[in-house]
Structure 1
């Protein structure tokens, strides 16, 4: 057990590979999947600074934190969560079971997030967002395959050897594929929640037999299992943003999906549309421009227009057309390589779970109808 003198910095680990730190009565622990804590500093018996650090730099500043606190005696602990020069992005949440989270009060001072937590011997989890870890995906995939036509397939290994799984719905006579990608960026939990709700709506609550009789579907819900395990802010363990590696395919994770896409092409089938789920500060749907030369030219624009009337009036549907040649973004790669539309589906960091689920459910229902209403030949790009 480490018993530091007040004011002395205790180095726990470097670059967000979190372990734990024990003081006289109070302990902090992040030694588990998706834990995020780099080092601890004790200021008094009940005052601490907890430092969180990115996996590498430069990096998109999305400071992730997740740790538990316990105390031998009941007390209130004052904590400053410091991410150095990176401003806080995620609002702090508290959980006693690791599944149910509630927002807690905080203040910002000098760029650090300050919270007060009542603790005793039962560990209290403090997290940037609700936790969806690698084991959650395993359990979710098992449930989905038991209840649906989806089959689980390991399509590759991550850099550290974790399985990258796909869920596949396919029929030999189907030639058109929908691609659903998730969790390229580990801390983007609202996007991950949207992915799970979307898939469940498409295959359970609102499964459309006509859609499944025409289209094959490839789901890759967890692209970055190493980053999830280590509580990364953005990258995989090789310091690469996976959503900047499409078309380059330098990483094991993107290579795994690319291998399956090649199988589709070799079988003389084709991807016709894709969704890539993320999180950002607002709810935004990033699309390719309608005049970019894709097939059908107005598919994404019309899909989002069809979706809007099915959403509650308090939800603002923001469409952001744009292109980013050469950056390795998935939707850009699919546009340039296959001449198809796709959408980067971003949920706001603080969008309530009920709203995330509502939008995803409606998005799945409307997309099935939109794709069914589009003739197969309309998905094939024909140069003028």
Structure 2
């Protein structure tokens, strides 16, 4: 029996792997930080035999509440990811499986590899209305890439979408993949309506270094990018510095920052109620966008989510809050679950890469409801 994580986004520490009924593992921390929750490894073993995999020390993980009612995902072909029977007690996550093949991949959520990221970016480039710009480079010397979709004009709105500031939140890039496929479909009516009024600037992966390293929340230096937006630096957070600089150069009329939430079993949005400049227009735009999304898809709800900030109490180091205050625009963080959408549960797959993909397409359609009134 062998357990390996020596691949893109791999993360696991093997403590003991001699007895298939008592495999003992732990999760490595993000570099230079105390964050840990993302795991991704391959089990090579005898098929059709029961295995019990115990991942311990999770009471000290980033979000211990995220393990309650959670089920790990697994795949034989790295294409279809299904849920495994999983339980959590006293800081230990126990995953049970009887592999049908000799090799089985197991992860926190369906991984989104750096190679797939590159495939998505250069697939997009094949469309006439899409241009790639390399803004600069990360600390590990990877490209920071933004896709411009549509023809700029003074009367068009600038809509920005970023994903995966927290690299372990892979559902965010599955979301963007779905959104891009719809936006670049030249027969799609929603895309046509939007591109006649707006230009999109999309950063599919804000944290490529953390993604490859198998981090949960930080970049190569152990920095949480979504706490860097007030004062980023090229030394510690070049990813935010470069994207923020481009925003300041071009302007922003709408911003969506795509994330995943470890604990809450819902899709929801977090707005900008607590920023100093929050006003009736922002509130109206938020309500219009949420109303459209509620109509378009039952995957979305607005009853459960984060507590709303009191007036003037927003954390302006957070991307969506800084953008809302800087540009006085509609700005939302969109959150998806690691667990399942409890309103529409799926025992076999839970919330998944495919559902994230579809939710991205539904969200693009909802933007149609507000695009004309963004300025």
TM-score by length of 1: 0.80
- Other-structure match for 1:310: 296
Residue-by-residue CA offset, 1:132-162 (whole Å, 9 max, x unaligned) = 1111111112222224511122112111111
CA distance in 2, matches of 1:275, 1:167: 15
Indicate how the Cα distance of structure 1 residues 68 and 252 shifts in structure 2: closer, same or farther if over 3 A, else same: same
- Other-structure match for 1:33: 8
- Other-structure match for 2:159: 178
- Other-structure match for 1:12: none
Asked whether the 8 Å contact 2:85–2:97 carries over to 1, the reply is no
Indicate how the Cα distance of structure 1 residues 293 and 220 shifts in structure 2: closer, same or farther if over 3 A, else same: same
User: Of the candidates 238, 242, 265, which is equivalent to residue 221 of structure 2?
Assistant: 238
1:305 partner SS: helix
- Other-structure match for 2:109: 129
User: Of the candidates 273, 282, 301, which is equivalent to residue 289 of structure 1?
Assistant: 273
Indicate how the Cα distance of structure 1 residues 206 and 305 shifts in structure 2: closer, same or farther if over 3 A, else same: same
Which segments of 5 or more consecutive residues in structure 1 lack a partner in the other structure? Answer: 1-25, 265-269, 380-384
User: Does 2:208 match 1:188?
Assistant: no
CA RMSD of the aligned region, Å?
Answer: 2.7
CA distance in 1, matches of 2:87, 2:149: 47
User: Of the candidates 276, 284, 300, which is equivalent to residue 286 of structure 2?
Assistant: 300
CA distance in 2, matches of 1:307, 1:110: 39
CA distance in 2, matches of 1:148, 1:210: 17
Indicate how the Cα distance of structure 1 residues 65 and 230 shifts in structure 2: closer, same or farther if over 3 A, else same: same
TM-score by length of 2: 0.82
- Other-structure match for 2:24: 49
1:208 partner SS: helix
**1:79 Cα deviation after fit:** 1.6
User: Does 2:312 match 1:337?
Assistant: no
**1:207 Cα deviation after fit:** 4.6
CA distance in 2, matches of 1:356, 1:101: 13
Greater relative CO, 1 or 2 (CA 8 Å, sep 6+): 2
Aligned pairs for 1:213-232 (under 5 A) are 213-232=196-215
- Other-structure match for 2:347: none
**1:27 Cα deviation after fit:** 1.0
2:162 partner SS: strand
**1:256 Cα deviation after fit:** 1.6
Aligned pairs for 1:238-257 (under 5 A) are 238-250=221-233, 251-257=237-243
Indicate how the Cα distance of structure 1 residues 262 and 81 shifts in structure 2: closer, same or farther if over 3 A, else same: same
- Which structure is larger by alpha-carbon Rg, 1 or 2? 1
Residue-by-residue CA offset, 1:49-89 (whole Å, 9 max, x unaligned) = 011132157655x6111100113787443321124423354
Indicate how the Cα distance of structure 1 residues 148 and 112 shifts in structure 2: closer, same or farther if over 3 A, else same: farther
The runs of at least 4 aligned residues of structure 1 exceeding 6 Å deviation read: none
1:271 partner SS: coil
- Other-structure match for 2:148: 168
CA distance in 2, matches of 1:141, 1:359: 20
Indicate how the Cα distance of structure 1 residues 363 and 81 shifts in structure 2: closer, same or farther if over 3 A, else same: same
Higher strand share: 1
Asked whether the 8 Å contact 1:187–1:232 carries over to 2, the reply is yes
Residue-by-residue CA offset, 1:195-240 (whole Å, 9 max, x unaligned) = 2222322332445334313312100010001111111111112111
Count of residues in Structure 1 that have an aligned counterpart in Structure 2: 343
1:298 partner SS: helix
Which piece of structure 1 moves more, 318-327 or 242-251?
Answer: 318-327
- Other-structure match for 1:346: 335
CA distance in 1, matches of 2:22, 2:287: 52
1:159 partner SS: coil
**1:327 Cα deviation after fit:** 4.5
Indicate how the Cα distance of structure 1 residues 297 and 105 shifts in structure 2: closer, same or farther if over 3 A, else same: closer
CA distance in 2, matches of 1:289, 1:227: 30
